[in-house]
Structure 1
Amino acid sequence: MARGETRRAILAAALRIVAESGLDALTVGRLSEVSGASNGSIYHHFGSRGGVVGELYRESFADLVGAMTPALDGRPAEVVVPELAGRFLDWIRANPVRGGFVYLASARGVPGGEGPAAFKAEVMAPLAAWFGARAAAGEVRAVPVWALDAVVMGPAHECARRYLAAPGSFDLDLAREEVTRAVWAIVRPG
C-alpha cells in the first residue's frame, strides 16, 4: 500500500475495532490484524496506539465541525444558530460510530502531540469568529469561546449522547426541533 493508503487503512481499521469491540480492544496487534499493516508501519505512521486514537479523534472532530461551518453565512443569527445545532445532530445521525468515538475519546482524555485543546481551538476558529462578530453586532449575546461547545451546544450534545446510546429508542427528529430552538434561546440577545 502507498503511504496515504496505509494511514487510511489503519484509521479505518481503528474505527471498525472501536465500533465492534470498544476502545479498549484497540491494540497495535489488533490494528495490524484488521488493517493488514505491519506493527512497524503502525508505529511509523502514528508513533503509538495513542497516536492512532489521537489522529482518529482529530479527523472525526474536524469532520463534525466541518459539517456545521457551511451554515456560517450572512443570514440572520436566529436562522444560522438553530441550523448549526441541526447540522451537528444530522452529522451524528449520519456518522454514529465516529460520533460515539468522539464522545468516548473525549471522556477518556484524547492522547495527542500538540494537544486536543489547541487542535479544537483551531478547528472551531470559524465558529468562534462568527459568534464574536455577531456578538459585536448585537445579534447574539456574548459567549466566551470555551462556552460555544460546552454551553451553547449542550442541548445538542445531550441529545446526541442519548441517540448514540439507544438509536432505536430515541427520536432524534423530534429532539432536533426542540434542540435547535433551545440552542437559539441560549444565545439570543436580551
Structure 2
Amino acid sequence: MDIKPGASLTRFIDDLLDAICIVDREGRFIFVSAACERIFGYTPKEMIGKAMLEMVVPEDRAITLRAANEIMSGHPKLDFENRYIRKDGQVVHIMWSARWLEADKVRIAVARDITERKQAESLQAALYAISEAAHNAEDLPSLFQLIHQIIGKLLSATNFSVVMYDERTDQLSFPYYTGDFRERLNCSKQP
C-alpha cells in the first residue's frame, strides 16, 4: 500500500484531534498522523517501523493481540479500549476504531485518548465507594481505613492522615494516620 496522501489531505489528517494509524500484518506502524505525538509522545518518524505491541501496557497485550486477530479476520472493532505507555512513561487510555483492509493487508485505525474520561470514571467510582463506606461503617476508625484504601487505589496514599479541627478548643486531632506521618507523630510525642 502506498501511504503518501496528498498535501491537502495530509494537512487535514494532521489537524485531527484523534490519531490515525496504519499497521502492517506484522503489527508495525507504517503510517501515523501528527496527533500520535500528542497522544503517545513519539514523533511520527519515531513510530514508523515500531512494533505496536512494544507500546502496549504488558497487562493489555493479550487482549490487544486477540482484538488485532479479530480485526484481521474481517471483524472491525469500533470501540476497543487498551492502554499504551507514552514515551515519557505515562500510561494513556486509548479507544480504537479499527478495520482490516484486505486488499492492502493493513489495519487502519483511529485512536482517541480517553485518559481524562477514565480518570473521571475512577474518581466517580471512588466517591461512590466512599459514600457507601460512610453509610455502612460501624465506627469512624473503620470508615477512615476504608477511605484510605479507596484513595490508595487512585493515588499513592502511603502517608495518609485524617485531621480533625475542634473550633471550641482550637485543637487539631489525628484520629487516623499511617506511614511516615505515623512515625513523625509518635516521635514528636516522646520527651
TM over 0.5: no
Instruction: Say which structure is richer in helix.
Output: 1
Structure with bigger RCO (C-alpha 8 Å, 6+ apart): 1
Per residue, is there more strand in 1 or in 2? 2
Q: TM-score, length-normalised on structure 2?
A: 0.29
TM-score normalised by L of structure 1: 0.30
